Structure 1
Amino acid sequence: MTGTVPLDTTTLTCVFAVCRARGAKAPEGVSGHAGGGALRTLSAGRLTAVVQHVPAAGFSQEALRERLADRRTLESCARAHHAVVSAVAAVADTVPLPLATLYLDDERARSALVGDEQRFLDALERIAGRVEWGVKVYAAAPRARPAQPRTPSAPAPTPSPGPGAGRAYLERVRSRRQEQDRFRDAALRTAERVDSAARAVAVAARRLRAHGPEATGGHRWQVLNAAYLLPAGQERRLREALAPYRRVPGVELELSGPWVPYSFAEGSAPA
C-alpha cells in the first residue's frame, strides 16, 4: 500500500494498470473493487493509468490487513484486480500494478507515475505485443507397489517382534525415501530440460518460487515454476518444444496462458 491514510480521508485512488497515453481507455464490462466508483483513466505525462476511487474505510492499512487475512476476501480482491488488468490489456499494451496500489488522491497518483515514467515506458516497450505463459513441472510420487498375493494354502507369515523386525521396518522406510529421491532427482533433470526448451522459443524468462506441498498436495512435488515471455500467437511453438517432456514417466507438466505479463513488468532475465 502506498501512503498513510488520514482519518478524514473519504476516498483513495486505486491504480490498476498503466498504458501509454494514446489508445488507453477505461474498460467496459468490469467494475473493479466492490464499493468503489466507476473505472476511469488518469492522465500522467506520457502515460495513462486506469484507476478507481475506493472508500478509505475499507482500504486503509488496518482494514486491508483484516480483509486480506481472509482467504475468500483476498481471492475476491485479486479476481477483481485481475479482471480490470485483463480488460485493459485486451485493447492496449499494459503494465499491471500490484494488488491494492493506493494513493491519497489523483494528484498523488499522477505525481508518482510521472516520477517513474521512464521505468513504465521501458516496461511497455519490453512487453509490447507479447504475452506471458506459465510452465510448471511436478515430480509425481512413486506409486506403492501392490502386495504379492499369497496362495490359499500358504499360511500368513507371523511377524517377528524381535530386533530384526525393527531393522526391516527402517530398511523399508529408507528404501521408500531413496525411491522418492530418485523420482525427484529425475524430475529435476527433466525440469532443467523443460526450462531450456522453453527459453529457446521465449523472448525472456523468469524462474519463480516453487509452491510447497500445501498447494500441490502430498502426491507430487513442484520442481519448476517459471514464466516465459513470448510474442502473441506463438503458443504452438512453445507447445511443440515441450511436447516430448509430457511423456516422461513420473513427471507432470502444466502449461497455462496467455496471461498479462505480470512477471515481466519489473524486468526479466533474457531467454
Structure 2
Amino acid sequence: MTAHQSTLTYVFAVCGPPGPEAEALGGLSGVAPPAPVRTLAAGPLTAVVQDVPAADYAEEALRERLSDRAELERCARAHHEVITASMAAAPTVPLPLATLYRGEERAREALRAREESLLTALGRITGRVEWGVKVYALAGQPAAAASSPGAAAASGRAYLEQLRSRQRGREERQGAALRAAERVDTVVRGLAVAARRLRPHGAEVTGPRRTHVLNAAYLVDRGRERQLRAALASLRRDDASVEIELSGPWAPYSFADGGTAP
C-alpha cells in the first residue's frame, strides 16, 4: 500500500446479491465522506466498499489515525453503521475495521481467493444474528468494621481464622458463579446454532464489585429472541448470586470465520 495512489478501496463487508434496500448504502457517510458507500460485484459475492484517500489511509497514516481514541471511535462507529445497513439488504459477513486494498481489482482478487470460505460463512449466518451474553459474579458484602478496641485486638489465631473464612467464602462464591455461568452457557447453546467463548473483561472494565466469569457470543436464528429472553429471565430468578447481561442483536462479527457448534 503506497501513499502515491490517489485512492484505496475500503471493504466493510461481503454479502450475497443485495436487495433494493442496498440503495440506502449510498446515503451513508462511511469512514471517508463525501465518497459514496457502494457495492462491488465479485463473482457470486458482493463487497460493500468506499474509495478512501490513500494519503489518509496508507499504512503509516492509518496507524497514526487509529492511535487517536476519538478517530478510532469515529471509524468504528462508521464501520458498524455500514455493516448494519448492509444486513438490512442481504446476509452480510462483516470484515475487520480498516480492510483496505489497492483498488477494485485487488479487492476482487482477495475475495476470489476467499470465495469458498466466504460463501460458507454467508450460508452459516443467513437468517441468523449474534447475541452477546455476559455473566458476572457479585462480590460479597464487605466485612463490618471493628466496634471496640477489644475487637480490634483479637487473638492472632482468631484473626487468621477470620482471613481463612473470608478466603473460603470468596472461593465458594467464585465456584458457584462459575457453575452458574456454565448453566447459562448450556441453556443458551441449546437455542443457538453456534457459540464462541470470548475473553472475560478485567476489573478495569467491570469495576471492583463484580467479576466477569462468562463472556460469550451466540449465533441464533432470527425469531428466537423471545425464547432467549425468557430463558435468561428464568435463570436470573433461579440464581440471584450472579448478574446476567444480554446484548444484541448484532451483526455476526464473531462468526464471520467460524464458531464452535453447540
- TM-score using structure 1 length: 0.87
Q: Check 1:119–1:60 CA distance in 2 against 1; reply closer, same or farther (3 A cut).
A: same
Question: Match of 1:64?
Answer: 62
Q: Percent identity?
A: 57
Question: Match of 1:103?
Answer: 101
Aligned residue type for 1:238: L
Question: Match of 2:255?
Answer: 264
Q: Distance in 1 between matches of 2:14 and 2:76?
A: 17
Q: Distance in 2 between matches of 1:250 and 1:69?
A: 39
1:200 aligns with 2:190: yes
Number of corresponding residues: 259
Aligned residue type for 1:64: L
Aligned-residue CA RMSD (Å): 2.2
Q: Shift of the alpha carbon at 1:145?
A: 4.0
Q: Check 1:65–1:180 CA distance in 2 against 1; reply closer, same or farther (3 A cut).
A: farther
Q: Shift of the alpha carbon at 1:28?
A: 4.5
Q: Check 1:100–1:189 CA distance in 2 against 1; reply closer, same or farther (3 A cut).
A: same
Q: Distance in 2 between matches of 1:29 and 1:171?
A: 67
Q: Shift of the alpha carbon at 1:98?
A: 0.5
Question: Match of 1:223?
Answer: 213
Q: Shift of the alpha carbon at 1:170?
A: 5.1
Q: Shift of the alpha carbon at 1:242?
A: 2.0
- TM-score using structure 2 length: 0.90
Q: Shift of the alpha carbon at 1:42?
A: 0.7
Question: Match of 2:47?
Answer: 49
More helix by share: 2
Aligned residue type for 2:14: V
For 1:123-149, what per-residue CA distance to the aligned partner results, in whole angstroms no more than 9, with x for missing partners? 11111111111110000111214458x
Q: Distance in 2 between matches of 1:57 and 1:173?
A: 61
| Unaligned runs of at least 5 residues, structure 1 | none
The question of whether the paired residues in 1 share the 8 Å contact of 2:26 and 2:36 is answered with no
Q: Distance in 1 between matches of 2:211 and 2:167?
A: 14
Q: Shift of the alpha carbon at 1:17?
A: 0.9
1:78 aligns with 2:67: no
Q: Check 1:57–1:175 CA distance in 2 against 1; reply closer, same or farther (3 A cut).
A: farther
The question of whether the paired residues in 2 share the 8 Å contact of 1:36 and 1:55 is answered with no
Q: Check 1:57–1:177 CA distance in 2 against 1; reply closer, same or farther (3 A cut).
A: farther
Q: Distance in 2 between matches of 1:146 and 1:90?
A: 55
For 1:19-62, what per-residue CA distance to the aligned partner results, in whole angstroms no more than 9, with x for missing partners? 11353735154211144611011110111111001112222222
The question of whether the paired residues in 1 share the 8 Å contact of 2:28 and 2:36 is answered with no
Which sits farther off after the overlay, 105-114 or 139-148? Answer: 139-148
Question: Match of 1:114?
Answer: 112
Q: Shift of the alpha carbon at 1:253?
A: 0.1
